Amino acid sequence: MLPIDFIVIDTEGQELLREIAVVDYTGKQIYEAFVEGAVGNEEQYYNLKSLEQILQKFKAIAEGKKIVCHCAQHDKKVLQRSYDLFQEVLPRCDWVCTYKLARMTWPHLESYSLGNLCTYLNLRVNQQYFSEEQAHLARYDALFTYQLYLQMTQQDIKQLLQEYPNPFASSRVDNPFQLHPDLKTISQQPYQALKSILQEIKDDGNHQSKGLVITGEAGTGKSHLMMRLAQERLARNRLFFINHPNDPDGILFHIYSRVLESLIQRVGSTNYTQLDHLLAYFLSKIINRQHIPLPTQKEEKILKVLEANPLDIYEALGSAGTERKREFWKLIETKVEQWWQFTYDCSGFSWQILKGIIRYCYYTDPKRKLLIKRWLAGFELETVELEKLGLIEVRWDTQTNRETLGLEAISVISKLSLVDEPLIMVFDQLESLALEQNRNLLLAFGSSIKELFTHIKHSLIISIMFPDSWEVFQTKLNPSITDRQGQFQLTIQSPNKQSLEDLLNLHLQDLPASLNEIFTPEEQEDILHQGVIRKVINRATDYYRFKRDGIPVPQLQPTAQHPTSRQTILEISSALLKISQSVEELSKKLNSLLVQEPTLVPNSVPGLRVGTAKGAPHFVVQPTLVNWESQTLLDYLKGQKNYLEQEYRESHHLKIITPSQDRGKLQTVLSTCRQIYGFDIDHLKLGKKKVPENLVLIKDNQRCCITFIYEGSSTFTSRIKNLNLLVVGNLNTSFYLLRDLESPVISGKVGQIEIKKFEYCKSTTYVDFDLEHRVALELFEQMIIDIQNRDLEVDLNLALTEIANFMPNSWIIRLLKGEKPF
């Protein structure tokens, strides 16, 4: 730990002392003086003193102390000569040289000058980095030497922290169901307002849904507030998380898919899902003694279980797979059907949806639950599977059907909540909809929101976005939509400095060291100076990584950076890349030279490098990532990749994944990259026949078609038959059929024959879309969305270059470069 009996000094002068500065153990300057007659322009100095006076004062300060200085041999000689002049003795002190300590601590450095060390360690004084122009002023050098000494006296902290993961590294709230440290005093007023609105909805006899728009700048804690809402309300309220849509023709089904995914999330540490809670409390409200005044023996058993604890209904009526349990649940299903018939009528698809929900909840066989989940998600099941589950076939095969049935399914879920607590629907990551290129998507989203308010009751519909994004929504959408969507509005402000400090301490609560023990006052000031939650936590991550692992703290983007020059560089880089592509295309056509592929090189000087590949001109555009962007982006890509891989392994079977959804993700990537990589995008049709979801990338007269078929049964057979017709009709196109690993096995003879037909062609490839392939696509798409939503604050064009270096052999990068993706 840092001793409290030392001072830091710096002296200037060759033979005799010219100026001196002294800093105490807290980093406060306690003395500064200049020798009369030894400095020029003496009118500029307010603390001129005789050399003898300065030496006497220094002796009073330094006697018996530990003196820290950089290149202590020089400072000691200057002081020794000065005291010798007056036949005085140098104060009795212990001398510590940060120059020597640095050589032992970081033996690999080329230079150990104060300036180089401060730059290497990213040290700052008063929020300013070390400047050689101000160096060799005693006060300036003493303050930076103090910061340097602090770093080197924390080696014991480094050893202590080795056993603990970075407590700040996992602070990003990707969805409300995650768990992160939550300081309740932050955004407490908005949270109380949320609770008040929910109570209003519950008390409303008309069960009208209400809209709430939550605005706030990036990193202020909007998504964090939703996490708190989920943690504290999931015991009774059902909360659904809906991320950004990517298909303007399928927004309602996208919403329903995310609702279904949210429903099968477990509540807290229990073994029960949100869907289990929803159904159990619904049953407790409609199966009661008021409705059954003279219960039978079985009805009495059901009533007692529901009265004691509704969630026990899944365990207390018999063991899994027994006839006793089936009989009880058959009775429950009959009671629900009677109530539903009386209250809403059983016509349409609504009763079948509710029937599927009941059977999903009471079945314990994982295979049956998976089949019902696929049925609820709109996938076709085999006839034998439907008979086994007691469900009927529902045609979701057209986009219109999917939208209509998706809305009806959400309506059923809202009706289940009418007898209990309001639903909470959270729409997050909406900022990208406000971009001009997503205008059609925004208009379609607005229409879908209007449908929700029309058909969905007893719900709080929350939209989270930046203030300027909300202004775009209000400008482009009909007021009849935004008036309902923004019926209530809350603004999230950045927490004050004390709250941010309390939040840092909360993150450190499981570590054996405090905030003050891990971070110096100057480091804490830099961390808290970031202002908003996300930036504060990210900066703490940087410093913790340095403390524990010795990774230098990246310099942040200069706040006064001129945007015009940066934009000009990007425009020049884009133009040069186009020139490069033109030269390569010409070279290929001439077929006389072999041209190497352009290499994307991170962390290089922006500009154009001209080389040769067997005599041919070779242009390589090398954009620069300044330190803060490079480190931020690398941390993001590593962290998000790990998160996606872990999520895939743990919960991929719970996801509702559709071909249109994945096609939309791929379209987001291709649309964003088309100008940089130089290709066109198209899709294939077959008259009025339903073909698989597909996108065609056209580059250098080469056509590559990526198709998605995740359906089973007769739908798969129909899709792949039409795909084979497309293959025959487009012989100049390479086809890749992607099939998610969770898709059902194709056992039918006709389907298997069609697969063999597809694989028989030279231009076709069947791909099991596994973890590696999916993570590459989702990482790329999520990076784009996060940059558009300002969740990742780096330049998009530079990020597109860097991700190509991060996963150069992934199928998506090979596809963009015009190579064979699989």
Three-state SS sequence of 73-136: HHHHHHHHHHHHHCCCCCCCCEEEEHHHHHHHHCCCCCCCCHHHHHHHCCCEECCEECCCCCCC
Of 530, 591, 822, residue with least CA distance to 705: 822
Rounded to whole angstroms, how far apart are CA atoms 822 and 812?
9
Q: Would you say residue 437 has pLDDT above 50?
A: yes
pLDDT confidence of residue 3: 59
- Residue 307: CB partners within 8 Å, gap ≥ 6? 284
Q: Would you say residue 201 has pLDDT above 60?
A: yes
pLDDT confidence of residue 583: 53
What's the whole-number mean pLDDT along residues 515-519?
A: 86
How far apart are the two ends of the chain, measured CA to CA in Å?
55
What's the whole-number mean pLDDT along residues 696-719?
A: 93
Rounded to whole angstroms, how far apart are CA atoms 271 and 109?
54
Higher pLDDT, 587 or 430: 430
Q: At what angle do helices 366-376 and 350-362 cross, to 10 degrees?
A: 160
The proportion of the chain whose per-residue pLDDT surpasses 70, expressed as a percent, equals 89
What's the whole-number mean pLDDT along residues 318-340?
A: 93
Higher pLDDT, 401 or 678: 678
Per residue in 739-758, pLDDT (tens digit) is 999 899 998 899 999 999 99
Contact yes or no for 140/572 (Cβ under 8 A): no
Q: For 481-511, give the DSSP string.
A: HHHHHTSEEEEPPPPPHHHHHHHHHHHTTTS
Region of poorest pLDDT, from 371-375, 555-559, 706-710, 717-721:
555-559
Rounded to whole angstroms, how far apart are CA atoms 263 and 277?
9
Q: Would you say residue 195 has pLDDT above 60?
A: yes
Kindly indicate the confidence band of residue 581, based on its pLDDT and cuts at 50, 70 and 90.
Answer: low
Cα distances from 348 to residues 337, 409, 608, in angstroms, run 13, 11, 64
Pairing type for strands 6-12 and 19-23 reads: antiparallel
Per residue in 341-382, pLDDT (tens digit) is 999 877 778 999 999 999 999 999 999 999 999 999 888 888
Q: Would you say residue 534 has pLDDT above 80?
A: yes
Phi-psi region of 418 (alpha: psi -120 to 50; beta: other; left: phi over 0): alpha
Q: What angle do CA 199, 201, 204 make, to 5 degrees?
A: 110
- Residue 139: CB partners within 8 Å, gap ≥ 6? 10, 21, 29, 32
Higher pLDDT, 644 or 607: 644
Kindly indicate the confidence band of residue 625, based on its pLDDT and cuts at 50, 70 and 90.
Answer: very low
Rounded to whole angstroms, how far apart are CA atoms 302 and 417?
20
pLDDT confidence of residue 766: 96
Contact yes or no for 197/424 (Cβ under 8 A): no
Contact yes or no for 142/9 (Cβ under 8 A): yes
Long-range contact list for 588-592, CB < 8 A, 24+ apart?
Answer: 588/700
pLDDT confidence of residue 606: 32
What's the whole-number mean pLDDT along residues 148-161?
A: 80
Of 483, 774, 816, residue with least CA distance to 655: 774
Question: Residues 406, 408, 410, 413: is their CA dihedral positive or negative?
Answer: negative
pLDDT confidence of residue 588: 52
pLDDT confidence of residue 128: 86
The alpha carbon of residue 408 and the mean position of all alpha carbons in its chain are separated, in whole angstroms, by: 31
What's the whole-number mean pLDDT along residues 587-605?
A: 41
Contact yes or no for 16/147 (Cβ under 8 A): no
Contact yes or no for 460/422 (Cβ under 8 A): yes
Q: Would you say residue 596 has pLDDT above 70?
A: no
pLDDT confidence of residue 154: 72
Query: What phi and psi, each to the nearest 5 degrees, are found at residue 35?
Result: -80, 125
Query: What phi and psi, each to the nearest 5 degrees, are found at residue 186?
Result: -80, 130
Q: Would you say residue 562 has pLDDT above 50?
A: no
Cα distances from 632 to residues 12, 216, 219, 363, in angstroms, run 39, 22, 15, 46
Q: Would you say residue 466 has pLDDT above 90?
A: yes
The alpha carbon of residue 643 and the mean position of all alpha carbons in its chain are separated, in whole angstroms, by: 9
**The token pair that represents 84 in the structure block:** 């010798």
Kindly indicate the confidence band of residue 151, based on its pLDDT and cuts at 50, 70 and 90.
Answer: confident
pLDDT confidence of residue 517: 81
pLDDT confidence of residue 174: 84
pLDDT confidence of residue 693: 95
Query: What phi and psi, each to the nearest 5 degrees, are found at residue 296?
Result: -75, 180
Q: Would you say residue 316 has pLDDT above 70?
A: yes
CB atoms inside a 10 Å sphere around CB 44? 9
The proportion of the chain whose per-residue pLDDT surpasses 90, expressed as a percent, equals 63
Rounded to whole angstroms, how far apart are CA atoms 617 and 380?
55
pLDDT confidence of residue 234: 92
What's the whole-number mean pLDDT along residues 147-160?
A: 80
Kindly indicate the confidence band of residue 552, based on its pLDDT and cuts at 50, 70 and 90.
Answer: confident
Kindly compute the dihedral angle of the four CA atoms of residues 650, 808, 800, 681, in this order, to the nearest 10 degrees.
Answer: -90
Which amino acid is present at 591? N
Kindly compute the dihedral angle of the four CA atoms of residues 118, 122, 127, 130, in this order, to the nearest 10 degrees.
Answer: 30
pLDDT confidence of residue 570: 44
Q: Would you say residue 577 has pLDDT above 60?
A: no
**The token pair that represents 601 in the structure block:** 């090189």
Q: Would you say residue 104 has pLDDT above 60?
A: yes
pLDDT confidence of residue 396: 63
Kindly indicate the confidence band of residue 578, based on its pLDDT and cuts at 50, 70 and 90.
Answer: low
pLDDT confidence of residue 492: 95
Higher pLDDT, 348 or 532: 532
Per residue in 275-313, pLDDT (tens digit) is 999 999 999 999 998 889 899 999 999 999 999 999 999
Region of poorest pLDDT, from 200-214, 469-483, 646-660, 727-741:
646-660
- Altogether, the residues listed in the chain come to a count of 822
Per residue in 440-451, pLDDT (tens digit) is 999 999 999 999
Largest CA distance in the chain: 112
Query: What phi and psi, each to the nearest 5 degrees, are found at residue 503?
Result: -65, -40
pLDDT confidence of residue 650: 85
Average pLDDT score, the chain: 87
pLDDT confidence of residue 46: 79
Cα distances from 266 to residues 272, 281, 292, 714, in angstroms, run 6, 16, 32, 33
